[in-house]
Amino acid sequence: MSHGFESEFKELVRANTNLVDLVSETISLKPLRAGSDYVGLCPFHDDRNPSLHVYPERSSYRCWVCEAGGDCFRWVMEIEKVSFPEAVESLARRANLEIPKLSGQSGRGMQDRKDRGDSYEVLEWATSLMQQSLRMGQAGANARSYVEQRKLTDETVRGFRLGYHPEDWNWFLNRSEGRFNAQQLLLAGLIGERSSGQGYYDNLVGRLVFPIRDERGRVVAFGGRVLPGGNIESDAKYWNSRESGIFHKSRMLYAFDQAREAIRSSKTAIVVEGYMDCIACHQAGVRNVVATLGTALTEEHVRFLRRFVEKVVLTYDADEAGQRAAERSIQRFMAQEVDLRILSLPNGKDPADFLELRPGSDLLELAKAAPEAWEYKLQSLIRRISLDSVNGRQQILNQMMEFLAAAPGLTGSVREELVIRSVCQRLQVDERLARRVLSELRSKAAQQKKFQLNQLSSETQPNRSSRSDAENQRSGMPIAPRELEPPSSSERRVELAEQELLEIILTVPEIIDFIRHRLGADDFENERYRRLLALCIDIRKEDGDLPELDRLIAAADSDSDLLSLINAMLDSAEEKGIIQIMNQESGVHGEENSGWNTLHLTKVLTPLLERREKRKHLLSKQLMAQTEASPSELNSDQKDALRQIASFRKNQMGHPTKLK
């Protein structure tokens, strides 16, 4: 498959990409076996125990649970949701390599790749332009005054690349002449179309601008704040770029690129609600802080952070609105495998206000002491409802059980057991009573859901009646799937032989000639195994190379399934000690390539060769059954079929014929 780039350039990019460093930009990795293997939480499924393995020596990765796998290009394609050429370009830029012109690509894919590349370039240009506008000139005087009032240092302003858009509705349009066209500015979110359909207007006008960067520090969007004392009036104090192919609010966190190392080392992420709060924390030395982008914290955010941390501290204002927002958030995340804490700062202050009066170390101490999510909910209820009466304790218990019943994915978990026990101890209530209340609430919710589903079903399918499979088939309705019969022991034995033969080839690539002269890919039943064997044979036949690991990875062309299978085979071979088995003396001399354990190789090959002979015999019988001609009238195919039958019978009687 051609992806537009020459193979030499792709391999140059691969050679200049440290896969461990690349993956570590997205998840936290721990070294195993002296660094020959790294493990972390898989981002491709809801991973609770680290199951993604990164193999530096193999230049590839594999999840042992969901079987996601690939190389550096596949990783970027899956994480950033981009095409292969875009992944190559992204990694080339990361390695500071000059990117050659693409060949052999056109159409929509080429246009999408170009649009993304254009957007990155346009946004970087706009960032530099607005930085300059904030630093100098009369137009930025009001913005500079506001920055000074917020006590932001020059270093902080530079580090976060803050900027300012003058009060000019055509500023981007005028400055971009001769460099970018209106369509490029529109795709990047810098301008909008006028409601009349005639012309465009700039976004971010008269605002202090906060560039939003992705995990790699690339600008992907902007946030803007209306400035006091300016001439721009807006109902929205803050404005954020709309979502695009490179910007997704529900998955992205402000300042993560700057907070990553502090988050990883502290195993804690502090999440605040605004740009200024986040920046103030970093300036005060609290660097493991990120902010949401005008949205509530989502499950995607929590899953993302969980790859790096053990604890997430959500910071909300201490006023009533802040408390309500906190309670709405924590219910959704109770079942997440992360230590979720809620921090309400004293006197209703937000982090920026708090840090104007107190040092960053005080904020860190408060974050360490922040209550767990369930404890925060309980404390909130106790503040609103008195514990001094039986009725008060009953209300609190009921509301806590409603809270747990509504939390998705918590049922029957260890976390739920521990929370119930702790709540009952605080309220001095029997655990059995609490469990009964919780069970009744869940039962009631399930019945209500069932009723709603039945109502919906009756509305959409009023004349539905039960049918037999035969009736369904006649009417074109789908037939309910039946359980497949489990494979027989002989079938399982042959599949294991296919697997072990691949393990041998990947461990001892020199054996490929011995194998390919006896078996072909068509002799394999398992489709995935067949693809891998065909790749090994093609590398040898077409290019004259041995199917060594580097050659296989390059030839796999970032195919996730193939790369995952290669890693699975290598892991299994290592567990079985295939290299030691194949290096053992077999005691058989005079055989081709007698340096290998030919007895073991024969043991693996035998069931595969036997299956092939049975298939050939069956085909021969079918061919002969189709003709009633006498032996003298048989054609060459029919005569060959007779010879195959005779050979098979002879082998069955104990007179083996050498198999070709």
Q: For residue range 166-221, what is the model confidence (pLDDT) as tens digits?
A: 999 999 999 999 899 999 999 999 999 998 878 999 999 999 999 999 988 899 99
pLDDT (tens digit per residue) in 212-228: 999 888 999 999 999 99
Question: Which is it for strands 311-316 and 268-272: parallel, antiparallel or unpaired?
Answer: parallel
- Residue 546 CA to residue 7 CA, distance in Å, equals 18
Distance of CA 618 to the CA centre of its chain: 47
Task: Identify the three-state secondary structure at position 67.
Answer: coil
d(CA 245, CA 291): 21
Pairing of strands 200-202, 238-240: unpaired
Write down the pLDDT at residue 45.
87
Q: How far apart are CA 494 and CA 44, in angstroms?
A: 32
Q: Are 103 and 4 in contact (CB under 8 A)?
A: yes
For helices 431-460 and 414-427, the axis angle rounded to 10 degrees is: 130
pLDDT band at 291 (very low <50, low <70, confident <90, very high): very high
Q: What amino acid is encoded at 127 in this protein?
A: T
Alpha helices in 272-372 (DSSP H): 275-283, 299-306, 320-333, 351-357, 360-369
The answer to whether 208 and 275 have CB atoms below 8 angstroms apart is: no
What the block records as the tokens of 357 is 């009066």
- Does residue 334 contact residue 406 with C-beta atoms inside 8 Å? no
Tell me which of 657 and 79 has the higher pLDDT. Answer: 79
Distance CA 317, CA 353 (A): 11
Q: Is the pLDDT of residue 504 over 60?
A: yes
Cα separation of 349 and 329, whole Å?
A: 20
Contacts 24+ apart (CB under 8 A), 59-63: 59/14, 59/19, 59/550, 59/553, 60/19, 60/553, 60/563, 60/566, 60/567, 61/19, 61/23, 61/567, 62/563, 62/564, 62/567, 62/568, 62/571, 63/564
Read off the pLDDT of each residue in 520-536 and give the average, rounded to a whole number.
91
Distance of CA 181 to the CA centre of its chain: 34
pLDDT at residue 475, as a whole number: 40
The enclosing H or E element of 240 equals strand 238-240
Q: Where are the alpha helices (DSSP H) in 162-274?
A: 171-175, 182-187, 256-266
Predicted confidence band of residue 114 (pLDDT cuts 50, 70, 90): low
CA gap 124, 120 in Å, rounded: 6
Does pLDDT of 628 surpass 60?
Answer: no
Predicted confidence (pLDDT) at residue 627 exceeds the cutoff of 90: no
Q: Residue 54: its pLDDT value, please?
A: 94
Query: Which parts of 165-218 are beta strand (E)?
Result: 191-193, 200-202, 207-213
**Whole-Å CA distances, 542 to 19, 62, 110, 548:** 29, 28, 30, 15
Give residue 102's pLDDT band: very low, low, confident or very high (50, 70, 90).
low
CA distance 494 to 605: 9
| pLDDT tens-digit readout, 584-625 | 754 444 444 456 777 888 889 888 888 888 877 676 666 656
Helix (H/G/I), strand (E/B), else coil: 69: strand
How many Cβ atoms sit within 10 Å of the Cβ of residue 497?
A: 20
pLDDT band at 448 (very low <50, low <70, confident <90, very high): confident
- Do 264 and 308 meet the contact criterion of CB atoms below 8 Å apart? yes
Tell me what the pLDDT averaged over the chain comes to.
82
Tokens 């098979």 — which residue? Answer: 648
List CB contacts of 564: < 8 A, sequence separation 6 or more.
62, 63, 67, 68, 69, 70
53 pLDDT above the threshold of 80: yes
pLDDT at 478: 41
| C-alpha torsion sign, points 83, 88, 94, 96 | negative
Report whether 68 contacts 47 (CB < 8 A). Answer: no
Q: Report residue 480 as tokens.
A: 């309910």
Find the mean pLDDT for residues 481-501. 71
Question: Cα separation of 288 and 259, whole Å?
Answer: 5
Burial (0-12, 13-18, 19+ Cβ within 10 Å), 339 = middle
**What is the arithmetic mean of pLDDT over 45-72?**
90
**Model pLDDT for residues 393-433, shown as the tens digit of each residue:** 999 999 989 888 877 667 778 888 898 999 999 998 899 99
If pLDDT is split at 50, 70 and 90, which confidence band does 279 have? very high
Picking from 375, 374, 368, the residue whose alpha carbon sits closest to that of residue 311 is 368
Do residues 370 and 341 touch, judged by C-beta distance below 8 A? yes
Cβ pair 622, 644 in contact under 8 A: no
**How far apart (Å, rounded) are the C-alpha atoms in residues 283 and 25?**
23
- What is the mean pLDDT of the segment spanning 231-246? 87
